[in-house]
């Protein structure tokens, strides 16, 4: 049995085979590329979240037409849910960053949780208070996801049971 000389072995590594060191280096480069791609996706997701927060911080003009539009949309959602035998419907989901305490009061079911709301979530709560609560609808707020163990999104559920 013949053994290849070091020169022949390095020639083989330069041709169609990779040395173990080259393979490890290649694998490390692949892992770095994957991590970079993942980091880029995370950066894009964070930018989208920031843009959403900025949009939802801007209050909308509450006109009689807008009120009628919202009532019509809610009537359709609640009717469809009732036909499916459900007693509540998700009406809004938003980042906990739109709460002055990042969702702590909602998570702890504190009575004054509505005072922590800002922007459109605050407007949605006020809409419920003025237009839906008198019709015996209930509004429930809860944290619905926990990225990294911290409150993520808040959801508003409208119920009629």
C-alpha 158/C-alpha 78 separation (Å) is: 8
C-alpha 18/C-alpha 12 separation (Å) is: 8
Dump pLDDT digits (tens) for 18-65: 677 777 877 888 888 888 887 778 888 888 888 988 999 999 999 999
User: pLDDT higher for 7 or 114?
Assistant: 114
**C-alpha 116 chain-centroid distance:** 19
C-alpha 139/C-alpha 129 separation (Å) is: 9
Per-domain boundaries in the chain:
6-56, 60-159
What percent of the chain lies above the pLDDT cut of 90?
A: 66
Dump pLDDT digits (tens) for 58-81: 999 999 999 999 999 999 999 999
Q: How confident is the model at residue 4 (pLDDT cuts 50, 70, 90)?
A: low
pLDDT (0 to 100) of residue 5: 55
């Amino acid at each position: 049995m013949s053994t290849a000389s070091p020169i022949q072995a390095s020639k083989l590594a330069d041709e169609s085979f990779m040395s173990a060191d080259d393979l490890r280096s290649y694998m490390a480069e692949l892992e770095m590329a994957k991590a970079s791609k993942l980091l880029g996706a995370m950066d894009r997701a964070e930018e989208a979240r920031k843009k959403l927060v900025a949009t939802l911080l801007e209050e909308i003009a509450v006109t009689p037409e807008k009120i009628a539009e919202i009532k019509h949309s809610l009537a359709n959602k609640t009717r469809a849910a009732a036909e499916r035998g459900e007693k509540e419907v998700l009406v809004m989901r938003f980042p906990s960053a739109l709460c002055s305490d990042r969702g702590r009061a909602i998570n702890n079911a504190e009575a004054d949780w509505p005072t922590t709301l800002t922007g459109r979530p605050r407007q949605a709560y006020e809409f419920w208070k003025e237009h839906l609560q008198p019709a015996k609808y209930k509004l429930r707020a809860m944290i619905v996801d926990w990225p990294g163990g911290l409150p993520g999104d808040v959801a508003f559920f409208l119920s009629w049971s």
